[in-house]
Amino acid sequence: MVARRVLRSLKRYGTTVVLALVLIFGGISVWQAWDIATLLRREARETSRIYGQIITGLQDTGSSPIGTLMILVEAVRESGIPLVITDSTGRPTAAASIPTELLQNLERDPRVTQLIAELDRSNPPMMVPGGWQVHYGNLPVESRLAWLGVLQLVILTVAATLGVWAYRTSVESHRDRLWVAMARESAHQLGTPLMSASAWIDRLADSSDPRAQDIAAHLTHDLERLERVAKRFERIGRPARQDEVALGVLAERVANYFEPRLPRHAHRIDLTVNAPEAGPMIQADPVLVEWALEALVRNAIDALSGRGGNITIKVSAKGRSAKLAVSDDGPGVRHEVRANLFEPGVSTKAGGWGIGLALARRIVEDVHGGRLEIEPVQVGATFVATLPVTAESAV
């Protein structure tokens, strides 16, 4: 539940988050590059100085090879390059930038021999007149360069991932705004014909003909239904109300609406409600929650179309959560469709718009902070909406 809320917050502020992360990663990358460039310039100066001292020592006919090597050791010690000097017999005589415990027992510690072999694998030893050899490793900056390469790769990967995520978030946000605009425009367009139909129904109701009055009564119920639908569309994108909603009562009301509209002869469909007398109480928008439940029931009816079967609305509560489960014993949902089942426009029915389940998830998760998912069952399909209950119901 918490993870979903965090994900919704990230989607809401996706552009800001991506921009902030790009700036942070960019700053780290620039800082690392500048630091490495500074180190390389310093190492280049040190290397040039070392070479100059070596050449000067070798050209000095009055100096011995040992003296030249000592100059080299001192210069290398300042640069941080690991170095070991051996005489003509292979005995270590001097070292620099190696662990202190090796320096203390340079001639007898077998680990020094292993270190010399490792240094020779990195760079071939340099030969000095008199049979002396200089075994040396790489500049300390090399490891920094390796880490910089890894850092750059990580930054590029993260930047690419964030870019794709930001693009998808932007597309989803644009799609959501489009759905909201279409819903409100539909509600606006329904207003005029509803007013006109209401006037005609009033004229029928005022008629002295009993049949006309009976027709007016049926039309009034349908008109009230259309007006409720129009008001639902007007609510999309607006702040949700926070009223006390008894889920058991709401489930009974939805079942009573569908009951007279279900097929009773060919391909009969039976709808039952399994709920406590009133059901657990939740803090929610009753209009929107009822709309979501109707979408789930209508989806089950469509699944049983042409074959008949049973639909069950089950209301239950556990801890601080209430559940609305809608089950049917129809053909079920194919596994390859489940991943995108709640996406707008995805439908398993020929000619379906793919709006009902997407709308139900938006109401349950985005508006009320709950969770809507399809449960794995052996027969048919079961959709479960989990919503937080009020403190009184949780006690």
Say whether both 19 and 128 belong to one domain: yes
What residues in the chain have per-residue pLDDT under 70?
A: 1-15, 17-18, 43, 46-47, 49-79, 139-145, 175-176, 178-189, 191-192, 234-238, 344-354, 391-395
- Both 8 and 108 in one domain: the answer is yes
Among 235, 268, 284, give the residue marking a domain's end: 235
> Do 172 and 248 belong to one domain?
no
Residue-wise pLDDT tens digits, 312-369? 999 998 888 899 999 999 888 887 777 777 776 666 665 555 678 888 888 898 888 8
Tell which of 139, 157, 174 closes a domain: 139
pLDDT for 136 equals 78
* pLDDT of res. 1: 47
Counted domains in the chain: 3
Q: Are 156 and 194 in a shared domain? A: yes
Please give, one letter per residue, the 3-state secondary structure of the chain.
CHHHHHHHHHHHCHHHHHHHHHHHHHHHHHHHHHHHHHHHHHHHHHHHHHHHHHHHHHHCCCCCHHHHHHHHHHHHHHHCCCEEEECCCCCEEEEECCCHHHHCCCCCCHHHHHHHHHHHHHCCCEEECCCEEEEECCCCHHHHHHHHHHHHHHHHHHHHHHHHHHHHHHHHHHHHHHHHHHHHHHHHHHHHHHHHHHHHHHHHHCCCCHHHHHHHHHHHHHHHHHHHHHHHHHHCCCCCCCEEEEHHHHHHHHHHHHHHHCCCCCCCEEEEEECCCCCCEEEECHHHHHHHHHHHHHHHHHHHCCCCEEEEEEEEEECCEEEEEEEECCCCCCHHHHCCCCCCCCCCCCCCCCCHHHHHHHHHHHHCCCEEEEECCCCCEEEEEEEEECHHHHC
Per-residue model confidence as pLDDT tens digits over 67-89: 665 666 666 666 677 888 888 88
Q: 382 and 260, same structural domain?
A: yes
Q: Could you tell me the residue range of the domain that residue 151 belongs to?
A: 144-235
Q: What's the pLDDT score for residue 395?
A: 36
* 159 and 119 both lie in a single domain: no
How much is the pLDDT for 187? 63
Last residue of a domain, one of 78, 113, 139: 139
- In this structure, the answer to whether residues 38 and 73 fall within a common structural domain is yes
pLDDT at 394: 43
